[in-house]
Structure 1
Amino acid sequence: MGTRLRLAALWGTALAVAGGAAVAAWAWARARGRLRRRAAPLSARPAAVAADQGRGHGKQILVLGLDGAGKTSVLHSLATNHVKRSVAPTEGFNAICINTEESQLEFLEIGGSESLRSYWTMYLPKVLLLVYVVDSADHARLPTAKQLLHQLIQNNSTLPVVVLANKQDLEGAYCITDIHDALALSDIGDERKMFLIGTHVAEDGSEISSSMKDAKELIAQLVLESQ
């Protein structure tokens, strides 16, 4: 039957990719109540420390994507509920912890430059969820983003994946259906939970967009269901 989506619901403009078809996700029942969160960003950590964290509580979320996709800005937005655009790319590892009512979410971002991509597969077996960030306006590198994503998950048919089609506010950015096609998400198995959400970060200091809140809700729910 394709992917069996066990999420009760989801707010926002996400697409759930199931059995090769993009299906509009439905609204998460408000009766469950929104998760209340307290965010506490952690400092960037070297490889050795990040490796220890990966062996910690088993609730880690790996955040990957090409350099310049906006991974660090996305993480800061998720942690603080406010926008802070990142200027310099992550050179190494960046760890952030977000507390919710139900659990503690441990995010580990690994830089997307060519020299760091070899670390990606090392950490993949340790995590509950992969968040893959792409620059929706960087058309030239979408084929590379596609290739790397497919290589990452080819040996793990059940790892949940949330793809963030970031920088939707930029001129020329592909919409999420175009990103879906560019990344060939329909070709990625039918046994995993996979979601595609269009995101962007606004001006520094402003509150995060509704799409970013949707992503945060979804990630928290997927982690709960994966434990």
Structure 2
Amino acid sequence: MGTRPRPATLWGAALGLAGGAAVAAWAWTRLRSRDVPPAACPAPAAAATATDQGKGHSKQILVLGLDGAGKTSVLHSLATNHVKRSVAPTEGLHAICINTEESQMEFLEIGGSESLRSYWKMYLPKVLLLIYVVDSADHARLPVAKQLLHQLVQNNSTLPLVVLANKQDLEGAYCITDIHDALALSDIGDERKMFLIGTHVAEDGSEISSSMKDAKELIVQLVLEAQ
């Protein structure tokens, strides 16, 4: 696998994966939804009950990945459209809501330390989308990230999956095609919607990168399609 750096303009590129075959690009109608500031989310159990009963338009999205992959920074970027890199590791569950004119999306992040990974599967039956974040520069732990991802999705062949190959701005980070191979994404089901996007968060306080904007638009589109 190559570790050569790529121009920053390419980090927003994505591979749409269907039937195990990678296509060169993905496209959808760009949304013009007005973002609403993040809101306090209901407790996870209450939110799941409301979703099951069809009350409201809350859509739960599960955000997983190894500790240090950048899940919390990614969530902050998606919620506020600004970067905050210096965040403490998530020790339990972190919930944040992102509102658009079409729907309210509830993101549930569970910490990625070894002691918390056994809880990941408990939340899968209640969500409509899985976001899996990997550190593209952490080569040594990609096999672990691969194993855990495959274990997560092996019993659900239709759950949509968005893999964020994060930290693409770091020297030595694998490009998205290398991440695709390292995670063996071609082996993960033929029926599910699956996307791989290269992302990074820029300097603190700056606006989010084009790759993060692309990821946000994709997530919103998938949620709308699931309604």
- TM-score range (shorter-chain normalised) is 0.7 to 0.9
Q: Which residue of 2 aligns with 1:159?
A: 159
Q: Which residue of 1 aligns with 2:4?
A: none
Cα distance, 1:70 vs structure 2: 0.2
* Cα shift readout 1:115-142 (whole Å, capped 9, x = no counterpart): 1111100000000000000000000000
Distance (Å, rounded) in 1 between the aligned partners of 2:70 and 2:39: 17
Distance (Å, rounded) in 2 between the aligned partners of 1:216 and 1:171: 25
**Maintained 8 Å contact 2:15/2:26:** no
Report the TM-score when normalising by structure 2. Answer: 0.88
Cα distance, 1:38 vs structure 2: 1.2
**Maintained 8 Å contact 1:35/1:217:** no
Distance (Å, rounded) in 2 between the aligned partners of 1:182 and 1:55: 37
Superposition pairs for residues 75-154 of structure 1, below 5 Å?
Answer: 75-154=75-154
The secondary structure found in structure 2 opposite 1:76 is helix
Unmatched 5+ stretches in structure 2: 1-11, 53-58
Q: Which amino acid aligns with 1:207?
A: E
The secondary structure found in structure 1 opposite 2:197 is strand
* Cα shift readout 1:178-217 (whole Å, capped 9, x = no counterpart): 0000000000011000000000000000000001000000
Distance (Å, rounded) in 1 between the aligned partners of 2:65 and 2:116: 11
The secondary structure found in structure 1 opposite 2:224 is helix
Change in 2 beyond 3 A, CA 1:108/1:209? same
Number of equivalent positions: 210
Q: Which amino acid aligns with 2:65?
A: G
Cα distance, 1:41 vs structure 2: 5.1
The secondary structure found in structure 2 opposite 1:68 is coil
Q: Which residue of 2 aligns with 1:208?
A: 208
Q: Which amino acid aligns with 2:23?
A: V
Q: Which residue of 1 aligns with 2:45?
A: 51
Percent of pairs with identical residues: 84
Q: Which amino acid aligns with 2:148?
A: L
The secondary structure found in structure 2 opposite 1:214 is helix
Distance (Å, rounded) in 2 between the aligned partners of 1:107 and 1:142: 24
Q: Which amino acid aligns with 1:75?
A: L
Cα distance, 1:25 vs structure 2: 2.5
Q: What is the root-mean-square deviation in Å for CA atoms of aligned residues?
A: 1.6
Distance (Å, rounded) in 2 between the aligned partners of 1:41 and 1:140: 37
Unmatched 5+ stretches in structure 1: 1-11
Distance (Å, rounded) in 1 between the aligned partners of 2:86 and 2:47: 24
The secondary structure found in structure 1 opposite 2:172 is coil
Distance (Å, rounded) in 2 between the aligned partners of 1:122 and 1:149: 14
Distance (Å, rounded) in 2 between the aligned partners of 1:19 and 1:145: 22
Distance (Å, rounded) in 2 between the aligned partners of 1:26 and 1:115: 36
The secondary structure found in structure 2 opposite 1:115 is coil
